[in-house]
Structures are given as C-alpha cells and as structure tokens.
Amino acid sequence: MPSAVEYQTGVLVWGGGSGGIAAALQSARAGADTLLLTPSGWLGGMVSAAGVCAPDGNELSPWQTGLWGALLRALATEEPEGLDQNWVSCFGYRPASAERILRRWLAAEARLSWWSCCRLLSVRRDGPRIAAVAVEHSGEHKQLLASLLIDGSDRGDLLALADAAFDLGWEAQEQTGEPSAPSAEAMAREPFFRRQPVQSPTWVVMGQLAPSAGPDQPLQPLPPPFSEATARFGLRHTLTYGRLPGGLVMLNWPLHGNDWHQELERAFSADLDDQQALNSAMRAHSLAFAKALREASGGWLQPGGVFPNSAEAAAGSLEGQEPLALMPYWREGRRLVGLTRVVEQDLLPVAEGPCRAALPIDAAGHCAAVAVGNYANDHHYPGPDWPLLPKSVRWGGRWSGTPFVVPYGALVSASVSNLLVADKCLSVSHIANGATRLQPLVLNIGQAAGQAAALCLRRNVEPSALAPPLLQEALICDPLAPAAPFPLWDTPWHHPQWRQRQLQVMRDPGALDQHAQLNGLWLDPHAAPAEPGERLWQGELDCLPDGSYRLLGEIGPDGEPWPLITLEPALNHWLAQQSPFTRVRLIGCANPWGPWLRVSRLAP
C-alpha cells in the first residue's frame, strides 16, 4: 500500500447498506471503538439513501424487535401523517425521516465515528486475517487498522478486496438440495442463468402526487418498454403501491417498470467505468419510467424533489430537489462463504404446522439463531415469476410469511478470521436470498454482527469462537433495542414477559414448541400500545371464507365496508374465534390506499 495517514480502531465497518449502520451502532453501544465508512453521504442504505421506504417483512408485532422495531417506532413519531400510506407495506415514510433518526442515534454514541463519501482502495491480508484497509476520504489516502472488520454493504464490496471466499450467482439443486433451485443441466443449457447472475436491482425514483385525484386509467398508453406496466393493477394502484407521507411516491415497480435486468455482471467489475456505465443506464431507465407515468397520468404524478444532487452534498443535508435516490436498490450481490449457509429449506415451516420454524442446533446443543425474518421469498427477474416453494400463511386477515431464523455462523467468514458480515452479503444461497434481503431483517442482522464484534473484542476471541448464547443474551437484554433471536408467534415486542420468554427458548430450544401451540391463547386482546392517529371503529364483523375480515357499518374510500387486518397475535386469535356479524369495537388506524383498517386491540 502507498504511504497514507494511519488510523486505528477496534471495529471497522464498511457500510452503504442498512446493515452497515446497524452494525456500527450496536458495536459502539456495546462498548467498542467503531469507525463506519460509507460511499454515500447518507447513512441508511435501503431505508433512506436507496429510497426503499415501504419496508417488506417483519410486519407482525412479534417480529418488530431490535433496531428494526426501534426505527419503526421512531418513524411513527417522526411522521405526523402516520405510516399507513400504501398497499405494498404496512409502513411508509419519507427517506429523510429515517436518515434523520439514524443520524441522531449515531451522534449519541461517543465511540462511533462516521466517514462519508469514502472509496475502498485495497485490503492487505496477513495470513487468515485482514491487517489493513486503504481508503480514499476527503482527498486523502488513509490506511485503517482494526481488530475486527464488518462488511455492511449490499454487494459484499469488502469480500472481493479481502479475497474472502464468496458465492455469486445461482446454485444448482444438486448442490443445495433446494426444491426451487434449477438443475445443473438447466443451468448449463440455458443462457438466462449467465445473463442474470443476481436478482434485478432497481434505481428508485420519487414522484409527487398532485393534490387532486388522478384518473383510474391512463389517459394515453405508456411507451415501450413500459407498455404493460399498468396492465395488471391500473394507473391509480400502480402509483399508490409505494405512496409515502405527503403524497410522495416510491417508484420501485417490478411489473414492466423500473427493475433493471441488463449486463448485471458490470456491478461486480473491477473497472469503475463499467460500474458507472451500469449506474447511468439504470438512472436513465428509472427517469424514463417516471416520465412515462407523468404523461400517462395527465400530470397527476410529478417529479418528487427529495434527495441532494450528489453524495457530497448529502453528507451535510437531509433536503434536496432530486427525484433519484442516492444509490441503487441492490437485491443481491456477493454472498459470503460462512461457517453456516442459509438455504431454502431453512426458510420453510417444519411439518408440525405453519407457526413452527426450524431452529439450527449446533454440536453443543445450542440454537445458533441471532435474527428472525418472515418474508415470503420473492425474486425479481425479467419475464415470468420464478416458481418458489410457498411459505405464507393466512394470519390477521391477510397473508404473511412464516418465520425463519438466521444462524450466527452465516455472519462469520470461513476464510478470513476477523471478518463478519452485516447485510445481504451474509452466507445464503441465491434462492434463499429472496427472503433474507429485506430491510427489517437486514437491520437486525447488522445489529447481531455489531454486537458479536464488540463481544469478541471484550473477550479477546475470534468470531468463530464466540458462543451463540452469549450473543443471544446480549441481544435479548439490550437496554435500547432488545432484539429477538427466536420466533415466538404468541409474544409481541411489547409483552411484559417478552424478555423472559426469549431467554427461556435460548436455554431450552424445545420451549419453542410450546409457544407454537399457544399462538396467542394467553394474550389479552385489549392490550397493545397506543399509536399516533388511531381511533375507534365499530360495526359488525364480517368473516369471509378466505380468512379475511370486513367491518360492516364503516364504509371505506371505495364505497365498500372497510377490510380489517391486524398485526397483533392477541387480536388475531380473538378475531378467529368470533362468529359472523358479532358487534365489535376496535382501535386502529385507517389506510385509504390499502384500503384497510389496521386494528390493534379491542376498545374498553
């Protein structure tokens, strides 16, 4: 490495993803001197800089734990209009709102330093360890020394430079045993698998809805390649899919919209010109999609001025006039070869029933789980949907993914002894990545990686030697953002025995069976925290054959009775026991764009 300014820290986090800021925060909160590096001027990756502000997964209250739950509750107070804003998610918020919260959290940590607008230059190995990382920052080359390093990027940027073992692309069914993976023969025969090494990314572009309602159908057809973008849902629903507070619109539309499918291998090229050419093509594609929607809507959709006009400007500003996000939304990148790999079979409910998740048990009899996810598994490619084994269940009047866990070994490099990962670059198969890549789980994976790094420094052990129960107990007992390693359907984050029940499963993994069978039986449907914007709703409960509910007597924006959903296990169980046309009084929040009432508890 050339001579450079030298800087030393306990934990070095290469960020750019949501997992990066989560890892850095938790590492510092747990007592380690931590340096966070980001290529952008914003901290939050998917949840802010990439503009993916309608999060998927971990929506049920038992899964709203850790830094994901803390962010969700902070956003609820930050957004005066509430988070019930669209129909793709139960939550929608402005990108700057999440970034503002993250910056407040960072500023509160004396042990945490942040260098924005950095460029990775090189990594020096000393045998199995990373000895130093060279970066460019503020016009200087700097050599960074750290005891432990965490890759918190979407694409696994540090893995390549560190010569850490990683996977990129598809695995054959013969290799992983995954039911939904292609055969080795198909992979060798069909060029699709070479053209599409990763899931298609999207460069999010923001729109702004004019105050007056737009038309139900386009005033004029959309031009190619967007001709079929509104065919399935119509223009109104295409636009309100990702609606955010203030009438902002997150344009992240997979159906002939602004997903990008071409020459994706350039994202992993060592040639920066290749990467820039790909970025330019993605940005132009998204701007063209926004323009096509603007013209088709007769001006109902306008450009949304949200982001600063450069990464450097973003470092000092939370305001901007640009519609394009500061970075693309990468759904997949390089994936670590870890001590354990998550595969599709690990995502699926075990045979005893949809509420029972498979738990990874190590040789010592410990459950190695460190984070809970529940996304249903979803892949983005050109053409028809890739057929994936279903893992959803009807719950609370809607479909929700069944829970699964990420084991600690998926965060630990098998080839570099002082390297952890904290984002989509965890040790996971290409197929399973479709469920592990979402914002809520990534935040909690990052939290686990940061906590593990701090524990390793305190105990002077390598990450591979850290006992999972030490990490689990630290996460469960965290004073600021307690995080659940175990999927307890019957225990929401706000339950007074939440910590006790998590610790019970930590000590005896078999206790999870008891909770799977209870599934809300011992909870009070009157008990859930108050929320901004909630109100009383009352009428007769209409129980439909497909497991959904309506509230007769309360008319929604489409002139029909309001559909009802709940994210609370106690209310879910109570609703399932009711006879049709029971008179009910419920507390909840309205989402006119769902449309649905999201109810949390029975009124007194």
| HEC profile of 213-267 | CCCCCCCCCCCCCCCCCCCCCHHHHHHHCCECHHHEEEECCCCCCCECCCCHHHH
* pLDDT score, position 521: 59
pTM of the predicted model as reported, rounded to 2 decimal places: 0.96
Position 518 confidence tier, pLDDT thresholds 50, 70, 90: low
pLDDT tens-digit readout, 210-265: 987 676 666 778 999 999 999 999 999 999 999 999 999 999 999 999 999 999 99
DSSP 8-state symbol, 463: G
Respond yes or no on whether the N-terminal peptide bond of residue 595 is cis (omega within 30° of 0). yes
Cα angle 104-486-425, degrees, rounded to a multiple of 5: 60
List every span in the chain annotated with CATH 2.40.50: 535-602
The helix (run of H) or strand (run of E) holding residue 501 is helix 498-507
Lowest mean pLDDT among 297-306, 345-354, 440-449, 515-524: 515-524
Interatomic CA distance for residues 325 and 311, integer angstroms: 10
Cα 426 off chain centre by = 13
Q: 529: which 2 tokens?
A: 């925290």
Interatomic CA distance for residues 451 and 179, integer angstroms: 34
Length of the chain, please? 604
The span from the first CA to the last CA of the chain, in angstroms, equals: 68
Residue 535: other Cβ atoms inside 10 A: 11
* Assigned CATH topology for domain 535-602: OB fold (Dihydrolipoamide Acetyltransferase, E2P) (2.40.50)
Q: Is the pLDDT of residue 1 over 60?
A: no
Is CATH 3.30.70.660 the right assignment for the domain spanning 5-165+331-518?
A: no
* pLDDT score, position 360: 81
pLDDT tens-digit readout, 558-596: 899 999 999 999 999 999 999 999 999 999 999 999 999
Using the structure block, give the residue that is written with the tokens 């993250």: 102
Report the DSSP beta bridge partners of residue 563. 550
Residue of 416, 199, 167 lying closest to 329 (CA atoms): 199
What sections of 437-496 are H helices per DSSP? 439-459, 468-476
The helix (run of H) or strand (run of E) holding residue 335 is strand 335-336
Q: 194: which 2 tokens?
A: 């070479």
List every span in the chain annotated with CATH 3.50.50.60: 5-165+331-518
HSE value, Cβ hemisphere, 13 Å, CA-based, for 71: 39
DSSP 8-state symbol, 403: P
Interatomic CA distance for residues 280 and 276, integer angstroms: 6
